């Protein structure tokens, strides 16, 4: 039977249905009411739901007194190890009327239930053997748990006796279960909870990623969902990667009102974005800024520090940035959050810049974002933050400028820049070749030949070379930086302005931008960036 529940909302409830063998994932930020949502779902399903709290104690004690299996199961599910315990007592006993905040301490009941199951099945097997029935004995839940646990941690082996648990490892002496690492205990606990949940239950797992290493996260929940195919799973998490990695219905928690009410949106398919990016967009309460680069690099750090009121999402190449902005604006029904983008100057002509601006994509004044630091106003702010002034300050700025121009002092160096420019420009022009009107191979061939023949490579190269030579001749640093694609130029700023290695300079820059330790530098960098208008 399917699991149906409703999530209260200001504009009416969000109805969710999950079939056994399937799952749903709710993703939300800290403070977004995730745990209270887990409580609400559990309450709405009464005894058909079993919730594994994010606030869970992981103290594993195999020497806990052994009790009857039924009592242990009731203690685990209801919090009261009496045979007359009822599910309507769960809030008071299991959660002590603090369903959203209590540190759940039920590991003892879990251990007691596993030992009791093992004891009862062992006795049944012994009695059948005494009666001459030598059919294969049923697997105990401990045996199920060991199989899954050891599959996830192949360098460890659980040693289960009639009243104790130890762990062995190749080449090492065994150790008590109470000495397991947090990760080992967390996996043991989660597997045990899943195995001991009642048949045909909805398992609600709050923060399934807690204490579990990312490399085995998917394997863990794959194993448990496959083992408990009679159940359905609800995962409530803030981990975008976990949410994107699992096949499931996916929802984003956008807002929470202690009434309680939630604003929930289903993550749609076929939006043109990966599930992780779609989820991040839906979960954002701020406008989106798509930028070049990757997560964790200096580009992204600079953008996030300079645009603190925007959610910055790195998309790799300039083509991906443009595609993301166009896609999101085309899917405006996806979210009310607005977006824009920034790309490096690269080889864009004036008409290209105009077209990009109309699409919502701004263009940097330099070929690489790092080169913003070499613009005169930014270099001056960095040098002043180091205490340089007057003649010494001007000398430092002159040294940086000389180093940049000296790097293009040879014909071969200029030629290399022109060649890179031509490659990018030709690649972009080829991508614009439209063959949609051709109805046969002959038409495609003719159209392609005509379009490619219109690409004047010599003119492209000459135009690029003229701009670079003009910048060199006039010692126009901003013009040169707009056309000179060389990330290595940042080392000149490190050497001449900070007397540091490049890696130390990048670390310093990250710190001062994040901590606002050099506001004049941050202001100069922001002043060099284009204005962003998200809509």
Backbone φ and ψ for 467, nearest 5 degrees, come out as: -65, -40
The burial of 7, by beta-carbon neighbours within 10 Å (0-12 exposed, 13-18 middle, 19 or more buried), is given as buried
**25: closest CA among 281, 328, 313, 279?**
279
Report yes or no: 283 and 25 within 8 Å, Cβ to Cβ.
no
Q: Which two tokens stand for residue 221?
A: 């929940």
Report yes or no: 52 and 195 within 8 Å, Cβ to Cβ.
no
Which three-class secondary structure state does DSSP give residue 170? coil
Task: Encode the chain (535 residues) as per-residue pLDDT tens digits.
Answer: 899 999 999 888 999 999 999 999 998 887 889 999 999 999 999 889 999 999 999 999 999 999 999 999 999 999 999 888 899 999 999 999 999 999 999 999 999 999 999 999 999 999 999 999 989 999 999 999 999 999 999 999 999 999 999 999 887 788 999 899 999 999 999 999 999 999 999 999 999 988 888 888 889 999 999 899 999 999 999 887 788 778 888 888 888 888 899 988 887 766 666 667 777 776 666 788 899 888 767 788 888 888 888 888 888 888 888 888 888 887 665 566 788 899 988 777 778 888 888 888 888 888 888 888 899 999 999 988 888 888 988 998 999 899 989 888 889 988 988 888 888 888 878 887 888 888 889 888 888 888 888 888 888 888 889 888 898 989 999 988 888 888 888 888 888 888 888 888 888 888 888 777 788 888 898 888 888 876 6
Q: Categorise residue 236: left if φ over 0, alpha if ψ from -120 to 50, beta otherwise.
A: beta
Record: fold of 3-129+139-266: Rossmann fold (3.40.50)
The burial of 173, by beta-carbon neighbours within 10 Å (0-12 exposed, 13-18 middle, 19 or more buried), is given as exposed
Distance CA 185, CA 176 (A): 12
Q: Would you tell me how many other CB atoms lie within 10 Å of the CB of residue 368?
A: 21
Angle (deg, nearest 10), helices 376-385 and 390-406: 130
Report yes or no: 525 and 308 within 8 Å, Cβ to Cβ.
no
Which three-class secondary structure state does DSSP give residue 17? strand
- What's the chain's Rg over C-alpha atoms? 31
Burial 121-136 (b: 16+ CB within 10 A, else e): beeebeeeeeeeeeee
Handedness of CA 438, 441, 445, 448 (dihedral sign): positive
Q: Categorise residue 494: left if φ over 0, alpha if ψ from -120 to 50, beta otherwise.
A: alpha
Report yes or no: 468 and 474 within 8 Å, Cβ to Cβ.
no
Which three-class secondary structure state does DSSP give residue 310? coil
Please state, in angstroms and as integers, the Cα–Cα distance from residue 393 to each residue in 385, 402, 496, following that order: 11, 14, 11
Distance CA 103, CA 250 (A): 27
Domain boundaries, the chain: 3-129+139-266, 275-528
Q: Which two tokens stand for residue 341?
A: 């983008």
Bridge-partner residues for 104, per DSSP? 56
Task: Tell me which residue has tokens 């902005």.
Answer: 325
3-state helix, strand, coil in the chain (%, to 5): 50, 15, 35
Task: Tell me which residue has tokens 């933050």.
Answer: 385
Q: Which two tokens stand for residue 483?
A: 């056309």
Bridge-partner residues for 342, per DSSP? 291, 362
Would you call the peptide bond into 488 cis, given omega within 30 degrees of 0 as the criterion?
Answer: no
Distance CA 137, CA 150 (A): 21
pTM of the full predicted structure? Answer: 0.68
């Amino acid at each position: 039977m399917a699991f149906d529940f409703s999530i209260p909302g200001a504009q009416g409830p969000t109805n969710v249905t999950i079939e056994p063998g399937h799952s749903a994932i709710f993703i939300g930020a800290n403070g977004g009411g995730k745990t209270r949502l887990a409580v609400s779902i559990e309450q709405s399903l009464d005894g058909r739901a079993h919730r594994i709290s994010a606030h869970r104690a992981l103290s594993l004690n195999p020497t806990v007194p052994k009790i009857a299996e039924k009592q242990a199961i009731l203690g685990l599910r209801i919090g009261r190890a009496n045979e007359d315990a009822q599910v309507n007592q769960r809030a008071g006993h299991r959660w002590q009327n603090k369903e959203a905040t209590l540190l759940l301490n039920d590991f003892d009941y879990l251990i007691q239930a596993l030992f009791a199951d093992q004891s009862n099945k062992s006795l049944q097997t012994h009695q059948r053997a005494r009666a001459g029935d030598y059919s294969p004995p049923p697997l105990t839940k401990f045996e199920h748990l060991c199989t899954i646990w050891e599959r996830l941690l192949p360098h460890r082996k659980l040693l289960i006796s009639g009243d104790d648990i130890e762990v062995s490892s190749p080449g090492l002496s065994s150790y008590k279960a109470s000495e397991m690492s947090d990760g080992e205990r967390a996996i043991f606990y989660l597997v045990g909870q899943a195995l001991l949940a009642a048949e045909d239950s909805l398992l609600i797992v709050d923060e399934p990623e807690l204490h579990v290493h990312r490399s085995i996260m998917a394997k863990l929940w794959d194993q448990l969902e496959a083992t408990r195919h009679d159940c359905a799973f609800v995962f409530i998490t803030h981990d975008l990667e976990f949410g994107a990695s699992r096949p499931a219905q996916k929802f984003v928690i956008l807002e929470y009102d202690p009434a309680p009410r939630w604003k929930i949106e289903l993550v749609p398919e076929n939006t043109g974005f990966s599930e992780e990016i779609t989820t991040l967009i839906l979960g954002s309460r701020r406008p989106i800024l798509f930028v070049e680069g990757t997560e964790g690099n200096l580009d992204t750090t600079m953008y996030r520090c300079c645009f603190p009121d925007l959610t910055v999402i790195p998309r790799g190449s300039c083509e991906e940035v443009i595609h993301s902005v166009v896609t999101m604006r085309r899917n405006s029904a996806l979210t009310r959050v607005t977006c824009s983008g920034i790309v490096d100057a690269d080889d864009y002509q004036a008409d290209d810049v105009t077209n990009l601006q109309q699409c919502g994509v701004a263009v940097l004044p330099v070929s690489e974002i790092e080169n913003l630091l070499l613009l005169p106003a930014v270099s001056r702010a960095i040098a002043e933050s180091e205490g340089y002034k007057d003649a010494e300050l001007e000398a430092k700025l002159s040294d940086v400028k000389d180093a940049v121009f000296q790097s293009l002092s040879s014909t071969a160096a200029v030629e290399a820049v022109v060649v890179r420019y031509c490659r990018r420009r030709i690649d972009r022009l080829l991508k614009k070749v439209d063959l949609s009107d051709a109805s046969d191979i002959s038409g495609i061939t003719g159209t392609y030949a005509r379009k490619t023949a219109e690409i004047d490579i010599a003119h492209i190269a000459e135009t690029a070379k003229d701009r670079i030579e003009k910048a060199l001749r006039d010692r126009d640093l901003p013009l040169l930086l707009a056309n000179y694609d060389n990330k290595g130029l940042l080392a000149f700023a490190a050497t001449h302005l900070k007397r540091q290695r490049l890696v130390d300079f990048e670390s310093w820059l990250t710190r001062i931008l994040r901590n606002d330790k050099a506001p004049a530098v941050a202001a100069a960098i922001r002043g060099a960036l284009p204005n962003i208008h998200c809509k």
